[in-house]
Structure 1
Amino acid sequence: MIQLALEMQAARGGLTLTDIEQRFGVSRRTAIRMRDAVLAAFPNADEVPSNDRSKRWRLDGAGARALSPTTADELAALETAAALFQRENLPDQADLLRGIGSRLKASMAADLMRRVEPDLAALAEAEGLALRAGPRPAIPNSLFATLRTAIKSCRKLSFSYAGRVKGQTETRTVRPLGFLYGHRHYLVAAPDGDGPAGADGAIRFFSLPQISRPKLLEQGFERDPGFDLRQLVAHNFGVFEEPPQDICWKFSAEAAAIARQFEFHPGQTVETLADGSLLVRFRAGGLLEMAWHLMCWGDAVEVLAPDALKALLPAERPVWPALP
């Protein structure tokens, strides 16, 4: 109930019953009871006028905030997330999270901070991050600031883009829409042109380490309100744009227990066979990135479909277990 009250207070446009259902994973009737409980506990909660047919409720004032003070676990989670960003060579994002942590600490009462500090120190010692082996992309901190400004203000952007062939550099003008983080980090953008950006499907991924000399342009652009970055990449295994195909992998009985711990794709289905092996099926593009990933499973995985993915894997692979 406290969490719901906090979210009703934070939501500028208020929360609908559907929002409560999705946020807390409850039925409609439970969402109604939760809303009624908050309305009864906080008389200053009221219905927010809206242009749609759904009713929305919001809690004004700071009454709910006092019921849920900042905890050591929350501060430690912020620091862990910042360390993850730092490890992935995203120091700008790490600094933003640490700034949030500092402001939270500064807003806490002195006696509460004295109680939290020992727990925070203990968690800082107890939680660590394993260093990921291998190279990381080198990205200047100033690049993120320029790209973020372009995305937030819907301004066109020009930059020099280095091709994979040494010495090839082109000047690109794009309408930036967002970022995609992974083994490599990308700017998601639409080529310069007419019409709302993101509406025509002409979306490109630009590797951030290959971008240099970014320049904000005076011209603005219209962003398609229906553009959804998550939907854009949902049919891909990685960032390579390919038509989706039906994928089927078979993990050996020895590797099945570990394979069940992974979500290889949001739309995957799994099936355990009589011999203990595991079938994983989903539909996506990006066969080359799938082949790169499957190599770490050694001979514990067999590609049943498609044939094009089978052809990308060598005949001889490391003997399981290949994962640490």
Structure 2
Amino acid sequence: MTFAKANDLLRLAQLAASRRLGISLEEISQEFGISHRTAQRMTSALEDNFANVVVVEDDDRRRRWRIQSPIPERLQPRQENTIEALEIAARAARDENRLRHARALEDLRDSLITRLSPRDALRSEADAEAVLSALGQVARPGPKVAMRPEVTDVLIEALRGPFKMRIVYGDTDAETRTVEPHGLLLGLRSYLVARQADRGENLRHFRLDRIHSAECLDESFPIQSGFSLNDHAAQAFGAYQDPAQYGEVVWRFLPEAAPRAAEFQFHPNQSAEYRDDGSLIVRFKAAGWLEMAWHLYQWGDKVEVLEPAGLRALVEGHARPDFPALP
């Protein structure tokens, strides 16, 4: 067995031990980027090399491989990649004022380090620090709206329930509102997606920076039937939702800008095709014309809005020919 295959087998053993229901052939294929047949060979090697492997069937009658007792710590591979990932995630959480998540990630990182031998812990920390010191965060132009940690902590607690929340929104002396949180959209400006029952069944967006106080109530509620935060977010180009603007969007990038535009994902559900003249047509369905206009301005006169007419009218006359570079 080669060293690479041995490492893969150890990693498979860790996955089989750490997942309560074990791991299936489909999950192995996806995790390691291999064929179904190669995944079968790996499970055979797992059974041949570990005595405590059990094979069970899940509710869908798929076979799953599980190791009944944890792998000895001495078989644990080096953890610098995991330590790096946890540290980066913790720093991102602190930047977004998600202090509860930051503390949990830091506790997990520290717990992982304490399980290593002193020599491996020192080496893993040193290697991770070398990478982290070389990773810089690119400053984004424009102001970044700060979120209040005391508000985000309450939001996360409410989402776990899910529980209703009482918030003061807009003006500091505004009347309280009772809302049913469905999710958070994090970005340059972050939003709470929630239903306010006294204003109808439709989901509304509340800017987190305008929530002045929040209280988690001891009252649960049913999530809107069929709700998916990813599907909900995909209805907008950015974060702003407007059902009246939702529809097909078609942009044409000129041949000199087409290669650069092809590197962008403007929307999760976009399609793109080159025309015979070398231009690039990008299509997707979304709302939020103003956020689209903000982005399109960066392309100067190298992009043309074909649809919708309202967006075309919004950007008309604002395409500059003198930008020295494309986004």
TM-score (normalizing by structure 1): 0.84
TM-score (normalizing by structure 2): 0.83
Q: Deviations over 1:204-239 (max 9, x none)?
A: 222111112211222222346853211222333222
1:157-306 map, 5 Å: 157-162=165-170, 169-192=174-197, 202-223=202-223, 226-243=226-243, 244-306=246-308
Q: How many angstroms apart in 2 are the aligned matches of 1:53 and 1:321?
A: 59
Q: How many angstroms apart in 2 are the aligned matches of 1:285 and 1:38?
A: 50
Structure 2 equivalent of residue 75 of structure 1: 83
Aligned positions, number: 315
* Native 8 Å contact 1:160 1:214 kept in 2: yes
Q: How many angstroms apart in 1 are the aligned matches of 2:221 and 2:251?
A: 43
Q: How many angstroms apart in 2 are the aligned matches of 1:86 and 1:242?
A: 31
The counterpart of 2:161, out of the listed 135, 153, 157, is: 153
Q: Which amino acid aligns with 2:229?
A: L
The SS at the match of 1:129 is coil
Q: Which amino acid aligns with 2:280?
A: L
Structure 2 equivalent of residue 12 of structure 1: 20
CA RMSD of aligned residues (A): 2.9
Q: Deviations over 1:134-169 (max 9, x none)?
A: 11112211112211111112221111111xxx6783
Structure 2 equivalent of residue 196 of structure 1: none
* Native 8 Å contact 2:297 2:318 kept in 1: no
The SS at the match of 1:254 is coil
- Per the alignment, do residues 92 and 296 of structure 1 end up closer, same or farther by CA in structure 2, a change over 3 Å counting? farther
Q: Deviations over 1:159-180 (max 9, x none)?
A: 1111xxx678342212222211
Judge which range, 100-109 or 55-64, deviates more: 55-64
The alpha-carbon deviation at position 181 of structure 1 amounts to: 0.8
- Per the alignment, do residues 240 and 310 of structure 1 end up closer, same or farther by CA in structure 2, a change over 3 Å counting? same
- Per the alignment, do residues 65 and 54 of structure 1 end up closer, same or farther by CA in structure 2, a change over 3 Å counting? farther
Q: How many angstroms apart in 1 are the aligned matches of 2:72 and 2:292?
A: 47
- Per the alignment, do residues 219 and 300 of structure 1 end up closer, same or farther by CA in structure 2, a change over 3 Å counting? same
Q: Which amino acid aligns with 1:267?
A: N
The alpha-carbon deviation at position 23 of structure 1 amounts to: 4.0
Q: How many angstroms apart in 1 are the aligned matches of 2:264 and 2:13?
A: 34
Q: How many angstroms apart in 2 are the aligned matches of 1:96 and 1:113?
A: 20
Structure 2 equivalent of residue 32 of structure 1: 40
The SS at the match of 1:232 is helix
The alpha-carbon deviation at position 58 of structure 1 amounts to: 2.2
Q: Which amino acid aligns with 1:280?
A: V
Q: How many angstroms apart in 2 are the aligned matches of 1:120 and 1:57?
A: 32
Unaligned stretches of 5+ in structure 1? Answer: 194-199
Q: Which amino acid aligns with 2:119?
A: D
Identity %: 38
- Per the alignment, do residues 87 and 167 of structure 1 end up closer, same or farther by CA in structure 2, a change over 3 Å counting? closer
The alpha-carbon deviation at position 322 of structure 1 amounts to: 4.9
